[in-house]
Amino acid sequence: MGLKIFQWNCNGISTKRGDLLKTLACHRPDIVILQESKLQPSQVNQPENTPLFPGYQIFRKDRTVADGGGGLLTLVKLSLNAQECDSPFDPPASVNDNLEFLFVKMWLTTQQSIIVGNLYNPPTNSLQLTYNPPLPKNLIISGDSMLTIPSGAKALRMPMARQSIVCFSKQTFT
């Protein structure tokens, strides 16, 4: 099973919902990873302020401080069984309140799952995440960030650009 993943720092989803709907209709990605949604926590229970995307379940994490920035959305096609899950990193980004993260676990089959991480780390923030190796199998981390993730003797670096880290076992999906 192949997956199409679309990642975008939308810099405010409310005014760009139409653009995203066109992209979804044209490319039909399975997973959409958005940073800087700029939605506020007070909008969660107001359906008119929460953007909806037909055919997708929405996982949302708003910035906790009301500064008008940040926020994450991860959209997953309804055909995939998905739920929000805990961060695989230790500590789970509590070392720095500026890092925003949202992890979603999806089951591709009854035996096979993946974890997709959506991260936003502001450009003024430098952070190193640690994980007791090895990194989880079938992990995809994508976002707009500058992160250093130690992995044994090697460090994987995500420069300030839209990049992904993908870790798969030998029994990966195709």
Cβ within 8 Å of residue 128, ≥6 positions away: 147, 148, 149, 150
> Domains of the chain by range and CATH?
5-167 (3.60.10.10)
| Structure confidence at residue 64 (pLDDT) | 73
HEC string of 52-85 equals: CCCCEEEEEECCCCCCCCCCEEEEEECCCEEEEE
| Structure confidence at residue 30 (pLDDT) | 95
Which residue type occupies 97?
A: D
Structure tokens at 153: 């003797």
| Structure confidence at residue 97 (pLDDT) | 60
One digit per residue, the tens of pLDDT, for the chain of length 174 reads 588 999 999 999 988 999 999 999 999 999 999 999 998 776 555 555 668 899 999 999 988 776 777 889 999 999 999 999 988 765 554 445 677 889 999 998 888 899 999 988 776 666 655 555 566 678 888 888 655 555 543 444 444 344 445 544 433 333
